[in-house]
Amino acid sequence: MFPYAITLGNTFVIKPSERVAGSTMHLAKLCHEIGIPKGVFSVIHGDFHTTKFLCENPTIRALSFVGGNKAGDFIYETGSKNNKRMQVNMGAKNHGVIMPDADEEDALNAICAAAFGAAGQRCMALPVAVFVGTSKNWIPKLVEKA
């Protein structure tokens, strides 16, 4: 989301999960290396109090969140009360659709990586796979790989 925000003339503040902040710090480093001016892409670390600050700070005009329902409910309620534009995606499920003309080995490896990579602790973890047509025959092999 930040490339669009920055391209359209906005600054962007991101608060990563306190459990897995490393990838966000890598993005910040890359932004610095490519010359994005200081303060245009910022990282703020913290817990509930930091989230509450972001939701209540009057200089922050919009919030976007992807994650669990409890946190999402709080962020939506608090941000809305503070007149912010809100985008809150909670409890989302990502679906992988496996077509019968896919390469079987590549598809099964990709499904395992998507479902179990980072121990499933990421927004894009794949909890649902939809096998179409004859690709349903691959399910026993997938169970062996998992």
Residue 61: how many CB atoms within 10 A of its CB? 11
Scan for tokens 């359209």, then name that residue: 8
The one catalytic residue among 31, 55, 112, 123: 123
Burial class from Cβ neighbours inside 10 Å (0-12, 13-18, 19+) for residue 38 reads: exposed
Judge whether 123 counts as a catalytic residue.
yes
Is residue 28 within a helix (H) or strand (E), and if so which, with residue range?
Answer: helix 22-33
Residue 87: how many CB atoms within 10 A of its CB? 12
User: Which residues carry out catalysis?
Assistant: 123
